[in-house]
Amino acid sequence: MTPDQIAALFTRQDGSFLCARWGRPVAPVIFGLADESLDVFRGAIRAGFAHAGHPVAETDPEMGANLMLFFVREWDELQEVPDLDRLTGMADLPARLTASGADQYRLFRFDADGGIRACLGFLRMGGALGEAHPAELAEMVMVRAALSFATDVVPSQELAALIRAAYDPVLPVAANDPAHALRLAARMVG
């Protein structure tokens, strides 16, 4: 991956750049999956973050869980989630997602130092995602939660190397300067 390709992954529609990684151990919780699928997703999350050299914990001391994944058949099922508006900071999220025709939605919260504090992932299984193999879907969910990607990314060896590079302890947990892509590219080679 070139520095320009890396920078594009973290450049938002408004032109701003943000590359952030988790600054605290990831404490996942998954809602809406059958037990046999839960193990697949838990395994993918643990393996993905182990590959990045980042810890996964049972709980976050402040929040309990900080990686929350919600699987629903249709978006209106999210209306049953207690305090969803407060949790997301968005009114009428189910209606917004239905209107946009989305199959998934990801929302990050950040600590004062810019590191990822929490990630909320919402996946509608009544559409195209329902046809995905559980292991492939689990890998995709983990990859998209690992860094503050501005675009939807597809798991690959290059992306795995990028995630590993971003978790290098020498690098800051967050960067707003596109030149950060140069540092990431250099670590992917070495």
92 and 75 co-located in one domain: yes
pLDDT at 113: 96
- Residue 71 tokens, joined: 């699987």
CATH number for the domain spanning 70: value is 3.30.379
Report the pLDDT averaged over residues 66-74. Answer: 96
123 and 160 co-located in one domain: no
36 and 96 co-located in one domain: yes
pLDDT at 190: 54
84 and 68 co-located in one domain: yes
| Alpha-carbon torsion angle 110, 111, 116, 118, nearest 10 | -70
Concatenated DSSP letters of 114-163: S-EEEEEEEEETTTGGGGS-HHHHHHHHHHHHHB--SS-----HHHHHHH
106 and 163 co-located in one domain: no
- Residue 184 tokens, joined: 């990431």
Terminal-to-terminal C-alpha distance of the chain: 13
114 and 39 co-located in one domain: yes
120 and 61 co-located in one domain: yes
Residue 17: pLDDT above 60? yes
59 and 71 co-located in one domain: yes
**93-125 pLDDT, tens digit each:** 999 999 999 999 999 999 999 999 999 999 999
Residue range(s) defining the domain that contains residue 123: 22-146
pTM: 0.93
136 and 158 co-located in one domain: no
162 and 121 co-located in one domain: no
Select the more confidently predicted residue: 132 or 146. 146
**155-186 pLDDT, tens digit each:** 999 999 999 999 999 999 999 999 999 999 99
Q: What's the Cα-to-Cα distance from 35 to each of 42, 95, 154, rounded to whole Å?
A: 11, 28, 25
Q: Cβ distance 56 to 28 under 8 Å? A: yes
Number of domains in the chain: 2
101 and 80 co-located in one domain: yes
Q: What's the Cα-to-Cα distance from 181 to each of 7, 9, 185, rounded to whole Å?
A: 5, 10, 6
Q: Which residue has the tokens 């998934």?
A: 104
Compute how many other C-beta atoms are within 10 angstroms of the C-beta atom of residue 15.
7
